[in-house]
């Protein structure tokens, strides 16, 4: 029996940002990916390298560890969001304030060619083009992915994002 390849696997290709800045940060984000892999409707296809990044928006908090995950899923965007939120809860995420510290954070960056703008979910992620901690690891996985609204590739968005504010490979 032929094994499915990336090209003929069912479902949509999705890119997720996974980050943590509390507790055992590397273990937190690795646990999040293990939880994704346990779900039968989700196939994790690739992981970027790990990166350490300074916080944005609210600066008085610990540095983050981040990576980007490419997966394929037969779930709808809202079903995937619910799965991501459930994983965050299992790993102990507690709501603090927007852009505050967190045990783990899973953000849907893109979902196939879908554009969605609702109160609870925006795809593509509305601020991905300004976030080096997303663009740098995403460029490892697919620098040619094109933002459906901005008509810019990951590589171009990264070039236009300005100087790197401190996103570094985790050694």
pLDDT single digits (tens) 40-54: 999 999 999 999 998
Asked if 93 and 105 count as a contact pair (C-beta separation under 8 A), the reply is: yes
Q: Is the pLDDT of residue 100 over 70?
A: no
Query: What pTM value is reported for the model?
Result: 0.90
pLDDT grade for 5, boundaries at 50, 70 and 90:
very low
Domain limits of the chain?
Answer: 12-162
Active site residues: 93, 102, 105, 107
SS3 sequence of the chain: CCCCCCCCCCCEEEEEEEEECCCCHHHHHHHHHHHHHCCCCEEEEEECCCEEECCCCCCCCCCEEEEEEEEEECCCHHHHHHHHHHHHHHCCCCCCCCCCCCCCEEEEEEECCCCEECCCCEECCCCHHHCHHHHHHHHHHCCCCECCCCCCEHHHHHHHCCCCCCCEECC
Give me the percent of the chain exceeding a pLDDT of 70.
88
How many of the other CB atoms lie within 10 Å of CB of 28? 22
In terms of CATH architecture, what is 12-162?
Answer: 2-Layer Sandwich (3.30)
pLDDT tens-digit map of 146-164: 999 999 999 999 999 998 8
Q: Which residue has the higher pLDDT, 4 or 81?
A: 81
pLDDT grade for 114, boundaries at 50, 70 and 90:
very high
- Rounded Cα distance between 15 and 127, Å, is 14
């Amino acid at each position: 029996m032929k094994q499915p390849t990336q090209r003929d696997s069912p479902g949509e290709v999705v890119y997720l940002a996974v980050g943590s800045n509390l507790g055992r940060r590397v273990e937190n984000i690795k646990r999040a990916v293990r939880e994704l892999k346990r779900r039968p409707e989700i196939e994790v296809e690739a992981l970027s390298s790990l990166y350490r990044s300074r916080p944005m928006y609210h600066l008085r908090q610990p540095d983050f560890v981040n990576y980007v995950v490419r997966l394929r899923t037969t779930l709808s965007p809202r079903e995937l969001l619910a799965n991501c939120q459930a994983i965050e809860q299992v790993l102990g995420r507690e709501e603090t304030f927007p852009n505050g510290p967190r045990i783990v954070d899973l953000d849907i960056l893109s979902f196939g060619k879908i554009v969605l703008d609702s109160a609870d979910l925006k795809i593509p992620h509305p601020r991905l083009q300004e976030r080096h901690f997303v663009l740098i690891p995403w460029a490892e996985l697919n620098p040619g992915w094109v933002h459906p609204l901005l008509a810019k590739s990951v590589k171009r968005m990264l070039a236009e994002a300005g100087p790197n504010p401190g996103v570094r490979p985790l050694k």
